[in-house]
Amino acid sequence: MADTPRRLRSSTVVLGSMGVLAAALSACGSDPDRRCVDRDSYDFINGYKIVADKNCTSSGTSSYGKNRKTGGKRMDADWYYDADVSNGYADNGTFSRSEAVERGGFGCSGSGSGGG
């Protein structure tokens, strides 16, 4: 018998390639981690106080000055991206979604929109 190299089945190659492609595309298309915070609540040690998501708009874009009246108090709530979260506070993040996407890696920075 002659030694012949083992050949991979085409289905194995296709499925493996599709997995790599799916991982790359989902990394570029996924939204960065975000928290709804009160912009007026910044504490030097803790960061911004995290508030209920209903206080922020559901669109992924940041817009300044969204004052919401909650329990008689005005709140300047906004999405805060890629933050370190601890004890109900978020810090070291950004209010710019496009900047957060650029931080994400995999060369996805060119695909983000410029609105922010």
Give the DSSP H/E element, type plus range, for residue 24: helix 10-29
Residue type, 63: S
Query: Which stretches does DSSP call E strand in 34-110?
Result: 34-38, 48-49, 67-70, 73-81, 84-86, 89-91
CA dist., res. 49 & res. 88, Å (int): 6
pLDDT at residue 34, rounded to an integer? 94
User: How far is Cα 53 from Cα 45, in angstroms, rounded to an integer?
Assistant: 23
Residue 75 near residue 32 (C-beta atoms within 8 A): no
Determine the length of the chain: 116
> Residue 76 corresponds to which amino acid?
D
Write out the chain's pLDDT in tens, 116 residues.
Answer: 666 667 666 655 555 565 655 555 455 556 789 999 999 999 999 999 999 999 997 554 444 445 555 566 778 999 999 999 999 999 999 999 988 888 764 445 444 444 43
- pTM for this model (two decimals): 0.56
- Determine the Cα–Cα distance for residues 98 and 116; give it in Å rounded to an integer: 7
